[in-house]
Structure formats: structure tokens, C-alpha cells
Structure 1
Amino acid sequence: MTPVTHCAGRTLALFGLGGSGLATADALRAGGARVVCWDDAEASRAKAEAAGHEVSDLRTVDWSGVASLVLTPGVPLTHPEPHWSATLAAAAGVEIVGDVELFCRERAAIAPGAELVAITGTNGKSTTTALTAHLFRSAGRDVQMGGNIGTAVLALEPPAAGRLHVLEVSSYQIDLAPGLAPTVGMLLNLSPDHIDRHGTFENYAAVKERLIARSERSLVGVDDPACADVFERAVEREMRLHARHLGPSGRHLPVSVRQDLPTGVSLSGGHMVLMRPYDGRERLLGGVDGISTLRGLHNAQNACFAAACADLLGLRAADAHVIQNGLNTFGGLPHRMEEVGRSGNTLFINDSKATNADSAEKALLSFDRVHWILGGVPKAGGIEALVPLFDRVARAYLIGDAADEFARTLSGRALSRRCGTLAKAVAAAAADARQAPGNQTVLFSPACASFDQFRNFEARGDAFRALVSELAI
């Protein structure tokens, strides 16, 4: 736990008593603050009370005595409209922050030199976060990993000299963390997502861009137009700041797996190459060919970011092969291009985390021919963007609410079958793959949210894994 000592003696209101909310309440109390908690769900309130927290309806609180409202990231701050607790706080002139902001302020108070890596983007955040942490851990570093992945940030050990925190941060968390200024910030990519919470894609991208603007050093993907624009603006700001000097310091580095870059990180023949800015020095960071947990161009991009971060923070000095050793031993993450089994000639891939077309595209590009299981609650645009990849689809097996819409998109372009449920889809795809010659792949990459049939993508992926395990080998 990271006790929030800089809030000692203050009263804070907290809304949202899920996992991160309870961890925040614990950390604030441990640091000496008074925390008044609330949640709209009675079960969540009961759990907080059982843990000894002060639970009181924030509608009845005297806001004149409240220093801050700590809002859980899952609660709307601006769109489609502010949550009622945010409206009350704003009317009283009370600042609204999140747990990441509290962590950053505590870092500034107790260990301002402690290294912090923050990773954001539309897709690939979790894999890049886990891989980055793994590279440092495999080199013997003291690493704490959390944020939007796994462990709430305030449940981690506190910042300290020699300790590295690697955080995945969502747009919601960045929106609530004006003081987030990491040692290294990463922006992987940008595509339309969470528009309901930000109003427009431009607003969503602008929130992500804040991370880069505040980072001491940054790595920015330049293979999509929105991210390339972010990088160009970052360099322009740096040029203005250094206008009276010999030139910029190379604070921002571009990353690409589709083009050779004069400076930054590029992919060449399966090898990641870092070209240092302004001096022309080239350094080989490592290779990803043959690493099954880093299959596909999108995972090569994730690896480029993680390896470049390791290089920026001096990992190369410890062992010339430490980055490659870390890449080779990375176990991957559940539900993200996860190999979950083989049945006869067929490999089964669980990519349940692919909740939009952009993420599913990365999975389709990783294989020449697939039996593709997809569907659920469709995102805006459906799978129209994937039409150029339909020649890779032996057959599509459709489930959930999106089945009719996706069948229309696939019609005349790829074979498809409405299966309704995941169990029927797995059985049908496995049977078709078994009858096909040569090695086959059944790819579960839904391109949809899960909420029509499953509570989240993890439950959906677990169900797929269980169904595969039941197949006759």
C-alpha cells in the first residue's frame, strides 16, 4: 500500500467503492486523512462499512469542509453528463481527482526522483505494461506494476529510490490526474473508442496527449495519423522551448513498425532498432521473431515500446542481453492473443480482449487463414474497417447481438454462420477446422464488447478457454 500522507488531517469525499475505490480509501486512512465514502450500489457500501470506512451519502455532506472529491475512473466526469457527485463538488469549488493523481502527489512529496513509467493508448496498453515490467524484473529491478491493469495504484508499494512503478493508465485516469508527469510516458496508438465518455474522438485524443505533454521523456507511436499528429506537436513544443539553444534534447522519440525512422525506434527484419536522435548512433534492442507470446505486428509494436523504455532507463548497462532475455521469457497475458490449446491440426487463440475492430484487425493480420469467432455488443462502425482482411477468413462464426449486422457485412465477402452462443461457435469452428487440410487456426477475436452474454471480456475469454479444453484431443 502507498499511504497518502500528504492528505493527513484533511477530509476527502470518495465516490465509487469498487476495487480501486476501496484501495484508495484504505490508503487515505493509512495516511491520516478522514474519508467520507459513497457508492450507488448498496452491496458496495456494505463492503466498505465492513472494512471500517465511514460511509455517508455525499448529497448530505457539508462540502465546505471537503478538500477533494476522489472519483473512481468508471464514473463520468464530463460525458454524457457529469455524475451527480462531480456536479456537487464543482458547485462547491472542490477539486475532483482520481487515485492516480493522489499517487503522483505522494511521489512528489516523498520520493520525487523515483522512476515512473505510464503507458496509454487505445490498444496494447496491458501487454506493453506487463512486458515493460517483465523486462525490468528479469534484470533484477524492484518493480511495482498496476493502475488500469491488475492492482490499483494505491495498493502498490510506495515510491522510493531504486523502485520503478510501471502503470497502465486509461483516458479516464488521465482525465483525473493533472499532476501525472512520468519519467517515461508512452502513447501507443489512437483509434475511436470511449466516445460516450469523452464526447468526440478529438476530446479522447486530447486527453491521451496530456500524458505526453507532461512526460520527462516520451515514446509515441507514429503509425496512425492521430498519434503522428501528437508526436509532431510534442516536437514543436520542444523546439520552441529550446529555440535559444543548439536544438531539442530528443525528449520525444517516435516508434514505428511500418516505416524506417531517421530517429526513434523502428522494426527491421524482426529486429528492433533504436536510432538515437541528433548523433546518428544506432543500437539493436532485440528481436521478436519466433516468440509466440509476441506474435503479430501489433505485439512487435508493444515490444518496441517496452524495449525502448528499458533502454532509456539504462537497462542496457546492466547486461548486453538483458532486454532480449526478457523478451524471450515473457509469458504473455490472458485473453490477448493467448494460445489456449491444440486439437489435432488446430491451434486455438483466445483474443477476447479485442473489443473493437481495430484490435481484431491486429489479430487477423497475425494469421494467413482463420476460422474466426466474433460478435457481442458491436461498437460504432461494426467490422466495416476489416473488409480488406476478409480474404483471410475461412469462415466466420457469429455470436451475440452483432450477429445480424456482421452477417450483412460479411455477405458476399466471406462465408459466415450464425451460431448465437460461444459454445455453438467453438464446436462449429473446431469441426470445420478439423476437416480442413494442414494446420488450422480458430481465432476468437470478437471485435465487440461482451455485455450481452458475459459480464466482461475476462469471463468471455475464460468461457472460450474452458470450451477448448473440453474438445476431444
Structure 2
Amino acid sequence: MIPVRGFEGKTVAVFGLARTGLATARALQAGGAQVALWDEKPATRAAAEAEGFTLTDLSTADWSTFAALMLSPGVPLTHPAPHWTVERAREHGVEILGDVELFARTVNAAPEHKRPKIIAITGTNGKSTTTALIGHICSQAGRDTRVGGNIGVGVLGLEDMHGGAVYVLELSSYQLDLTSSLKPDVAIILNISPDHLDRHGGMEGYVTAKRRILLNQGKGDTAVIGVDDPWGARICTEITAANRRTIVPISASKAMGRGVYALNGLLYDATAERAVEAADLLRARSLPGRHNWQNAAAAYAAAKGIGIPAEDAAEHLMTFPGLAHRMETVGAVGRVRFVNDSKATNADASRQAMSSYPKFYWIAGGQPKAGGIDSLVDLFPRIEKAYLIGEAAPAFAQTLKGKAPVVESGSMDAAVRQAFADAQGSGHDAIVLLSPACASFDQFTDFEARGEAFRAAVQSLSGSAQAKGAA
């Protein structure tokens, strides 16, 4: 872990004891702080106690004794309304921080020769794939690489820092809302489209949160900005005018006089005097489709930003194994292939997978986002049949009415069984695609648990098919 510096001998309140909260509590203690831990869920409190932590009911605690509040990123800071812990902290002048901010302060307090390189990635879609891809490139290039943040291990649960380390961090808008001191050597904004609007008070609040990744960059740092959407294009124009850092625009839809872009599967580097072909992405089996070409452009630019030679960055793109829960083939039964795209938690993310297959049997639904699936109407003709789960099922069924066959399956197991039966009965090669276009929290703890439930259901089908074959 990374011991948190700056709170030695002081008490920090920690609210939210899931993966991030407990990792932060350990890191605070390792750095010499006292912690007061609380969570509103009895099961989560029990897990913390089982690990040996003593709990403090923050609703009755003396907040004047706290040096800071470490808030889990899933807890509302401002919208729809501030959480009661936020209000209590503000009443007592207690600073509100997130784990990424604690990491940033610890890095900033370290001697110059011990500070690691930091690559920070945000965006509405593609963050996890790009983070994993950059981690792969850096590792293959021989760098001591640690990957985490909003993916895998929380940032403070990663190995402790040294001057030769590279931290590759996926950052959500929730995490960035709680971060003010982070100074990434490379900051990436992949793309921006409407998401989490209830948590940010609208689109401008969401864009403002994403922009916080650029707050402290200066001379010698690199900003990689996707310009295929209007919000990213605007940010790129505005920071170019500020002219404080190296700016690398990226695109997967157009040629540019400056930046890194992909056209028809070819990656071009136009950061020098002329554009040169850097890589043939059609050879990268784990990076299919235009959305992955944008991810590849960002990863290539980021690797160059920390000094990895262009040729090495391009070479290592080709060996990326892919990311779990993102267009991941989890099995096949007969002529039916099952694709796990549980990471698609909004319509724009589902569009990326749906656009990759001419026809598919679609499992979708969960906790709906604003706008539902209305924006996917042009892809409805590709749907052989939809199998809907979770809270969104009735609304999605209404949207699809008359446009694609629909069944409200209710559960993941039922959806997989029904989709398999129909796909198998088609008599031709078929894709069963889990790409929910929704958050997972109505039925699962997170998108990973949802993807694993899909995988388990597919494995159960596969086992049944093998047993029948043996009989």
C-alpha cells in the first residue's frame, strides 16, 4: 500500500467502507493517522470489523476532533443533495477529500527523486480499456507499472512509490470531484457524453468534473484530449489557448494536422512535422472498432508522453490481451458465442459493442441512465431479440416495441437461457451480447459482479450441453 502522509497523529473520518474506503483506512493508519470509520450498511460495517477495525458512529461523533473527512466517491458530494456527512463536515470546517487527493498530496510531499510518473485517464467511455492498455504498454516497455484507481485496486492499495514507478490511474468524475492537488505527467480526457447528470447537477457540472484532471498541469506535462465530441473539442481549444503544456488531440474519425488519429484502422502520428503511419490496428485483435481505435490513439500518445519510444508503444498495442467485461468472449456453445460487455453502463458505451456485430441477441437493462436507449434507435434493426432485466426492463420494452422482438426476462440466468434457446434455434452462427446500457446497482454490486453472473450462466449452459453430449 501507499502510506498517506500529512495526517500523522491526527484523526480522519472515513465514510464508505467498500473497497476504496478500507484501502484508504489502511493507508492512513500506515502513515501514522488515526481513523474513525463508518458505513450505513450493516454488512459493510461487519466486514470492516472482521478485518480488525473499530467503528465510530459518525452521526453521533464529535466532528471537531476530525482533521478531514475521507468520502467514498459513491457518496453524493453536491447533487442531488449533499450527504449528511458532507453537511456535518462543512458545519465544522472539516476538509472533504477522496483517496486520489490523499495519493496526490503524498506524492507532492515526497522528495523530487522519489516521485513517480502518473498517467491519469478519464472520459465517459473507454476509460478502463485505455487504462489497461497503457498499463500493458508500460509494463512491456520495462517500466515498473501499477494500474488502479477506478479499476481493479484502489490507488492507495497499490504498491508504494519510488522514482522509477509509473502509476496508471482510471479516474471517474466522482473521484475527480474530490481531487484538487493531482498533477499528472499525462492527463487524458478520452471523450465526453451525457452521464451521471444527477450527480453533477447537469452537463456543465459533469464536464467541469472531468476537466479537473487538468487542474495542475504545467510545462513538461502532456494533455491528451479526444476531439470527436463537442465538449472535448472545446476543452482542447481552451487549453491550447492557455499554452502551458504539450497538447495532443486524438481522433478516431478524422485526419488532423496535429495530434494522433486513426482512420480505417490505421494509426497516424502527426505530432512532428508530418503525419506518419504508426500502427495497423486491424492487426490488434483485442482492439476492434472505432471506439478502440480512439483508445489506442490515447494509449500511444500517453506512452510517448512519459518517454516510451513510438516504435515500442506501437508494437505493444498489438499484444494487448483485452479487458474483462468489455466485449469479452466468455464462451461458446455450438454455434452460439457469448460476449460479455457488462462494462457498458450507458447507451453510448453499448453503441460501441452493438455497432461491432451485424446481428445479435441482446441482453440489456439494469438501473437506467437519463435518456435510456433512445439514442440507439439506429441500431435496433440489428437486434434479433432483446432480453431485458432489472428496473429498466419495462421502459426499454416500450422503447423497443414494434422495432425489435422483446421479452422481459427479469434475471440474468433467465435472460441467458432464453437468448441461448433462440440463438441455437436460428440454425446459424449467432452472438448473445450482454451490453446493458445501464448501471448495475439494482441487481448487482457493480458491473464486474454483473459480468461474472453472465459468465457463470454461460458456463452452466456449457456444462449442461457437455453432459447431454456425454449421455
TM-score w.r.t. length of structure 2? 0.91
Q: CA deviation at 1:423?
A: 2.9
- For the residue of structure 1 that corresponds to 2:309, the secondary structure is helix
Query: Residues 15 and 291 (structure 1 numbering): CA distance in 2 closer, same or farther, change over 3 Å?
Result: same
Task: Encode CA deviations 1:1-48: one digit per residue, 9 max, x unaligned.
Answer: 111133223332222222221211111111112222222234433443
Pick from 216, 224, 229 the counterpart of residue 219 of structure 1.
Answer: 224
Structure 1 stretches lacking a partner, 5+ long: 242-248
Task: Encode CA deviations 1:218-261: one digit per residue, 9 max, x unaligned.
Answer: 111111112222212211222xx6xxxxxxx6x22111101111
Contact kept, 8 Å, 1:254 with 1:265, in 2: the verdict is: yes
Q: Which residue of 2 aligns with 1:257?
A: 252
Query: Residues 138 and 98 (structure 1 numbering): CA distance in 2 closer, same or farther, change over 3 Å?
Result: same
Contact kept, 8 Å, 1:296 with 1:366, in 2: the verdict is: yes
Q: Which residue of 2 aligns with 1:114?
A: 116
Which whole-Å CA distance do the structure 2 matches of 1:49 and 1:268 have between them? 54
Query: Residues 69 and 417 (structure 1 numbering): CA distance in 2 closer, same or farther, change over 3 Å?
Result: closer
Q: Which residue of 1 aligns with 2:469?
A: none
Q: CA deviation at 1:147?
A: 0.8
Contact kept, 8 Å, 2:196 with 2:369, in 1: the verdict is: no
Q: Considering only aligned residues, what root-mean-square deviation do their CA atoms show, in Å? A: 2.1
Contact kept, 8 Å, 1:104 with 1:180, in 2: the verdict is: yes
Contact kept, 8 Å, 1:286 with 1:323, in 2: the verdict is: no
Contact kept, 8 Å, 2:347 with 2:437, in 1: the verdict is: yes
Pick from 446, 469, 473 the counterpart of residue 436 of structure 2.
Answer: 446
Query: Residues 72 and 401 (structure 1 numbering): CA distance in 2 closer, same or farther, change over 3 Å?
Result: closer
Give the number of equivalent residue pairs: 458
Which whole-Å CA distance do the structure 1 matches of 2:38 and 2:405 have between them? 51
Q: CA deviation at 1:60?
A: 4.1
Say whether residues 1:273 and 2:273 are aligned partners.
no
Which whole-Å CA distance do the structure 2 matches of 1:307 and 1:13 have between them? 40
Say whether residues 1:23 and 2:18 are aligned partners.
no
- For the residue of structure 1 that corresponds to 2:6, the secondary structure is helix
- For the residue of structure 1 that corresponds to 2:159, the secondary structure is coil
Q: CA deviation at 1:422?
A: 2.9
Which shifted more, 302-311 or 286-295? 286-295
Say whether residues 1:416 and 2:406 are aligned partners.
yes
Query: Residues 348 and 68 (structure 1 numbering): CA distance in 2 closer, same or farther, change over 3 Å?
Result: same
Spell out the pairing of 1:235-254 with structure 2 (5 A cutoff): 235-238=240-243, 251-254=246-249
Query: What letter matches 2:398 in structure 1?
Result: R
Pick from 279, 295, 300 the counterpart of residue 302 of structure 1.
Answer: 295
Contact kept, 8 Å, 1:79 with 1:197, in 2: the verdict is: yes
- For the residue of structure 2 that corresponds to 1:214, the secondary structure is coil
- For the residue of structure 1 that corresponds to 2:188, the secondary structure is strand
Q: Which residue of 2 aligns with 1:197?
A: 199
Query: Residues 111 and 338 (structure 1 numbering): CA distance in 2 closer, same or farther, change over 3 Å?
Result: farther
Pick from 250, 269, 282 the counterpart of residue 289 of structure 1.
Answer: 282
Which shifted more, 87-96 or 456-465? 456-465
Spell out the pairing of 1:175-186 with structure 2 (5 A cutoff): 175-186=177-188
Query: What letter matches 1:257 in structure 2?
Result: A
Task: Encode CA deviations 1:53-101: one digit per residue, 9 max, x unaligned.
Answer: 4532234444344322211111111112212221121112221111111
Which whole-Å CA distance do the structure 1 matches of 2:40 and 2:100 have between them? 22
Which shifted more, 382-391 or 62-71? 62-71
Q: Which residue of 2 aligns with 1:335?
A: 325
Which whole-Å CA distance do the structure 1 matches of 2:88 and 2:201 have between them? 21
Contact kept, 8 Å, 1:285 with 1:307, in 2: the verdict is: no
Which whole-Å CA distance do the structure 1 matches of 2:43 and 2:402 have between them? 49
Which whole-Å CA distance do the structure 2 matches of 1:23 and 1:51 have between them? 12
Which shifted more, 261-270 or 394-403? 394-403
- For the residue of structure 2 that corresponds to 1:331, the secondary structure is coil
Q: CA deviation at 1:137?
A: 0.6
Query: Residues 368 and 133 (structure 1 numbering): CA distance in 2 closer, same or farther, change over 3 Å?
Result: same
- For the residue of structure 1 that corresponds to 2:282, the secondary structure is coil
Q: Which residue of 2 aligns with 1:244?
A: none
Which whole-Å CA distance do the structure 2 matches of 1:228 and 1:218 have between them? 13
- For the residue of structure 2 that corresponds to 1:461, the secondary structure is helix
Q: CA deviation at 1:438?
A: 4.6
Which whole-Å CA distance do the structure 2 matches of 1:263 and 1:457 have between them? 37
- For the residue of structure 1 that corresponds to 2:239, the secondary structure is helix
Which whole-Å CA distance do the structure 1 matches of 2:117 and 2:449 have between them? 34
Q: Which residue of 1 aligns with 2:63?
A: 63
Say whether residues 1:232 and 2:237 are aligned partners.
yes
Q: CA deviation at 1:189?
A: 1.2
Q: CA deviation at 1:393?
A: 1.9
Q: Which residue of 2 aligns with 1:245?
A: none
Query: Residues 67 and 454 (structure 1 numbering): CA distance in 2 closer, same or farther, change over 3 Å?
Result: closer
Q: Which residue of 2 aligns with 1:401?
A: 391
Which whole-Å CA distance do the structure 2 matches of 1:54 and 1:347 have between them? 48
Which whole-Å CA distance do the structure 1 matches of 2:397 and 2:203 have between them? 27
Query: Residues 84 and 398 (structure 1 numbering): CA distance in 2 closer, same or farther, change over 3 Å?
Result: closer
- For the residue of structure 2 that corresponds to 1:466, the secondary structure is helix
Spell out the pairing of 1:356-375 with structure 2 (5 A cutoff): 356-375=346-365
Q: CA deviation at 1:187?
A: 0.7
Contact kept, 8 Å, 1:111 with 1:160, in 2: the verdict is: no
